[in-house]
Structure 1
Amino acid sequence: MKKTIQCLVLAVGISQLHPGDCEAQSKKAKTDFSKWPAGTSPQEVGKRVAEHFVQTPHTNFGRSTPPKFITYPETCTWYGALTFAKQTRDKELVKKLAERFEPLFGAQDTLIPKPIHVDYTVFGAVPLELYIQTKDKRYLEIGQRIADKQWGTPEGPHVKPESQGYLDRGLTWQTRMWIDDMFMITAVQSQAYRATGDKKYIERAANEMVLYLDSLQKPNGLFYHAPDVPYFWGRGDGWMAVGMAELLRSLPKDNPNRERIMKGYKSMMASLLKYQAESGMWRQLIDDAESWPETSCTGMFTFAMITGVKNGWLDAATYGEAARKGWLALIAYIDANSDVRDVCEGTNKKNDRQYYLDRKRNIGDLHGQAPILWCATAWLR
């Protein structure tokens, strides 16, 4: 009965408005990021997912055995939980996330990945964020060392004949022209800039991003999973979307590469807008209507759009509505345990459409948990 009365009141109120007023009210509701249906606000959802992460042991890509070192999905989730804690001024959550790191200063220091590959080096984003929030220089030493190693002497089993050539051109020797790199590389370098104020870090990230944009972005603004795999895989493109948004968030306005990166970012966002499903989700293969809705890429694209709207790079009415729609669709995939379902499993490249359609849909995979936290943070910035 109460709900019926509310609906009648709303109907009466709307009937007093002119058509133009109704349209304006509708647009305002869709871009009002402070009001959310019960249980769907960034504060509530982010808190649930972050607290769940705190209680989660170190993960190993779904295997039952513990990892030899921290994996990049855990790094991404840890970083997201930290940024969410900072944005909500949750000192108790920051404390828990710092306590998770404490054993890495001692007996469990072998869990710190060696910075010999982009997926390992991205770990530096976590101690750098902890330093930003706590000012404990132990974190800075670890994070800065990792960031510097990315531009240091090539070493380890992942060194290729072209590695030194990239370094000689002022790029990282870890360059491999995989679209995932544009989060893995730019995240740690952007964090090093935020922690130290030294522009060399953000300039490294920007130079690297331009190389990838010039080499890999297609005319429609999207990216193939690999040059020899002509499929727009959701999470692969997600790394590019988040990487550009995170980089642009801190890239100085006078940086000579800013205009080029912004052009690539806006081109991608315009294309993604066209491929968002009516439900609000994006698909495992972005442009394939028969492909299944996938949560990790939906979270990544939503984050990139939220960030663009919040910073004034994107039209608020158009992209704000898409981002809100994406968020509300995405969080419906969170279960009672605060796990996100329908997360594409770790995926190598393969020139086969069916390969992507048949990928396992995981529950609680940190590839999916992390973007939830990124989005929650972005909404609150």
Structure 2
Amino acid sequence: MIATSYDVAAVRACFPALAEGAAHFDGPGGSQVPDTVADAVAATLRAAVSNRGTVTPAERRADAVVVEARRAMADLLGAEQVGIVFGRSMTQLTYDFARTLAKEWMPGDEVVVTRLDHDANIRPWVQAAETRGVVVRWADFDRETGELPVAAVAGLLSPRTRLVAVTAASNLLGTRPDVLAIAEAAHAAGALVYVDGVHLTPHSPVDITALGADFFACSPYKFLGPHLGALAAAPALLERLRPDKLLPSRDCVPERFELGTLPYESLAGTTAAVEFLAGLVPGPGTRRERLARSMTALETHEVTLRDRMEDGLRALPGVLLHGSPDRSRTPTVLFTVDGLAPSAVYERLALVGVNAPASHFYALECARWLGLGDAGAVRAGIAPYTDESDVDRLVAGVADIVKDS
């Protein structure tokens, strides 16, 4: 029989950082890493590596690291190996692709961005549009529920729309828009769809084809890996794009989009992170099949903890939770405490070993649209290593803050 249950104690035992004793709710900004990821990074740094090639063992080792990382990310996202592009961060990749795509735009063309998104999926498009005389259309979300209706995007589309940028999950509220329906509307108008998958990928099985994404960007350091960015797209789409690049650098896909030598140690750590996710629930199958099973079990585990956290916080006087309690959200809780600055709540929780930061978390348009201003709110994000005792510590910490205020 194939296991389907999630053993959080076994998972936690793989994270050396947890020995420090903190309850980590800061995963949306960057997760802790399991020992296998740290070992993979260290092993690559200790081994002889060189620029990629086929002559020396060091060259072949470097090439294998890159190839394996592409295979791992393709398995994670349901993409093709030659459609995986690596970069320093999702932000850097999005800027690069915005500049490349903007070469084809003409004055009077249009792009659509949403106020739900992280600024990394807003500002690159806004700034690229400004350089080309392109009109920016803003899709607003519902302030009460945090939901982004399909109609809010579809109503802005026209024959001049060249691109729609939308998040797969809000890093501030956890809201998961209907990306497929948005993509279908965008494609019917002849537009491309660039999806920010940074906050979805750590929490749910991903299939970029099922999402309708032309481009899907994410960050391995949000799903237990090293600091890195990755983008998936159809190889045929990448083939027709011509980014600025050095003359002697490789012009094949996906290498033409990767500027300079890749960080081999980070790529090795990314492969290890994907393999760790695939093994969250032991069992047979291809890595893609194991990922689907493990990520489904993880999602169930995290939603259960999110509900426990929300129930506990909602019972406290003066605590306001932002967004809808709808189960389609990621395990992310955004809250404020009456009479207290979010930063003060963050600092008080840190004193009792609960790491739940406060900010707009670069979802600046989202925070302002919610009326939170640039101070934002406290965000508690659940990760694969979060357990019930962590959640209870956070709720108890907030309860003490409320009692003392």
Normalised to the residue count of structure 2, the TM-score between the two structures is 0.21
**Between structures 1 and 2, the one with greater strand share:** 2
**Between structures 1 and 2, the one with greater helix share:** 1
Q: Considering Cα pairs closer than 8 Å and 6+ residues apart, tell me whether 1 or 2 has the greater RCO.
A: 2
Normalised to the residue count of structure 1, the TM-score between the two structures is 0.22
